[in-house]
Amino acid sequence: MATESSRLGMCPNCGNSITSGYLLIEYDTEDGSERFAECPSCEDIVHPAH
């Protein structure tokens, strides 16, 4: 298990940083990969913005 979490991006709702520890699912699409993560601040399920 990794001891450090890398940054996935920012929450589009509240603007706080989301780290890889909050990643729920990552999958490939025709346009690249997509991610869903839980925001640790507002607790919404979001697509982290880069």
DSSP state letter for 20 = G
pLDDT-derived band at 1 (thresholds 50, 70, 90) equals: very low
Q: Locate 16 and state its tokens.
A: 């706080």
- Is pTM, for the whole model, over 0.85? no
Closest C-alpha to 43, from 7, 4, 14:
14
Q: What is the mean pLDDT of the chain?
A: 91
- Give pLDDT tens digits for 3-27: 467 999 999 999 999 999 999 999 9
Instruction: Please give the Cα distance from 48 to 31 (Å, whole number).
Output: 16
